[in-house]
């Protein structure tokens, strides 16, 4: 199972792989993908939302998944980002609100890694 976080609810939608608009300047711009992580915190670190942001957490599954290299995604070792390379069905899991953003040290590639705490506002149950 993978997590996908967005401002929009994509419950039961099929997302098509694409080149992300909000990628890092030196992140891969050729491989179409749906960016996911095996953890909610990894997703938050990858998208770097502001504090007090309301976000929708989805789950999805696929066997057509790759782990990008550091050359493709400079912060991959911190975010756990993985790429789904096929259309994938999204399932609503919960709505969260980011509470606190912690800026961690800048590492060798010049990217600040953020970690977050969050509050669950609503679940699908």
Q: Give 116's pLDDT tier (boundaries 50, 70, 90).
A: confident
Q: Give 97's pLDDT tier (boundaries 50, 70, 90).
A: very high
Percent of the chain, pLDDT > 90? 66
Q: Give 67's pLDDT tier (boundaries 50, 70, 90).
A: very high
For position 94, what pLDDT does the model report?
97
- Phi-psi map region of 25: left, alpha, beta (phi>0 left; psi -120 to 50 alpha): alpha
Integer-rounded Cα radius of gyration of the chain: 14
Say whether 40 sits in a helix, a strand or coil.
helix
- Can you spell out the DSSP letters for 83-103? EE-S-EE-EEEEEEEEEEEEE
Percent of the chain, pLDDT > 70? 91
Per-domain residue ranges of the chain: 2-123
| Residue-wise pLDDT tens digits, 71-93 | 999 888 888 999 999 999 999 99
- pTM value is 0.89
């Amino acid at each position: 199972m993978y997590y996908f976080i967005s401002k929009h609810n994509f419950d039961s939608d099929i997302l098509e792989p694409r080149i992300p608009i909000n990628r890092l300047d030196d992140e891969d711009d050729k491989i179409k993908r749906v960016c996911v992580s095996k953890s909610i915190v990894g997703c938050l670190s990858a998208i770097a939302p502001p504090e007090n942001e309301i976000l929708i957490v989805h789950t999805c599954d696929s066997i057509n998944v790759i782990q990008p290299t550091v050359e493709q995604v400079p912060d991959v070792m911190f975010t756990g980002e993985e790429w789904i390379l096929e259309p994938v069905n999204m399932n609503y899991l919960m709505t969260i609100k980011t509470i606190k953003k912690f800026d961690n040290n800048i590492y060798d590639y010049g990217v600040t890694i953020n970690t977050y705490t969050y509050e669950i506002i609503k679940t699908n149950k």
